[in-house]
Structure 1
């Protein structure tokens, strides 16, 4: 079980890097080419959500992305440090309460195996895709 971990400061410009790295690692892990766009979009959405939560909550910690090549699945975890208690109910001009809901709806449409958890210590989005049977035999 190989793991690639990426940590980045909560800046929107780092989301593109996370998408590119995720797509490259997913391809190497054996995720079917037809699904790579979904992986790229899902990682972008999850990372954008984490960056937004950090920025709205004034959290300075890093966003963590773990890319795990399991035996039959490719797992991605996006973890933020913006706990429920750090994001103000009225977060200012750039806060859009529907943005988070929309982002989660997009993820639900892109990823069949999706788990979203959130607590006072931060949030975690766990997504996985099947690995191609052909890739397992190579």
Structure 2
């Protein structure tokens, strides 16, 4: 199983690089060409979400992207260090806007990826996405 790990500072300008790297590794792993645009969009949404969460929580830690080529699938995990906490009352308006944006991003990802899992706890969050590779359809 081949794995590529990417870490980048939580800045919006690095999201494009993550999308390009993900598409290149996915292509090499055997993900069908017809799905690469959706894969790029999903990775962009997941990375943008992580960057936004880091900004809201004023975190200096990097966003993590792990690209894994399995025997019959290709998976991507985008991780952040934002805690899953209830905002303080003074932050409620900003938190509601941030939460709406977060939910919209997750809805977009769910529409683009059939196999997606969102995990969030006090240590941070992770979006796991996977796609079949060309070898998955070979008996």
Report the count of equivalent residues: 136
C-alpha distance after superposition, 1:12-70 (max 9, x if no partner): 00000000000000000000000000110000000000000000111111100000000
Matches of 2:70 and 2:33 in 1, distance apart? 18
Aligned match of 2:105: 103
User: Are residues 1:80 and 2:80 paired?
Assistant: yes
Aligned match of 2:27: 27
Aligned match of 1:38: 38
- TM-score, normalised to structure 1's length? 0.91
* 5+ long unaligned stretches in structure 2: none
Task: Kindly report the root-mean-square deviation, in angstroms, between the aligned alpha carbons of the 2 structures.
Answer: 2.3
Does the 8 A contact of 1:74 with 1:128 survive in 2? yes
- Secondary structure at the aligned position of 1:14 is classed as helix
Aligned match of 2:59: 59
More helix by share: 2
- TM-score, normalised to structure 2's length? 0.90
Matches of 1:28 and 1:96 in 2, distance apart? 35
CA gap of 1:134–1:116, structure 2 versus 1, over 3 A, is: closer
Aligned match of 1:18: 18
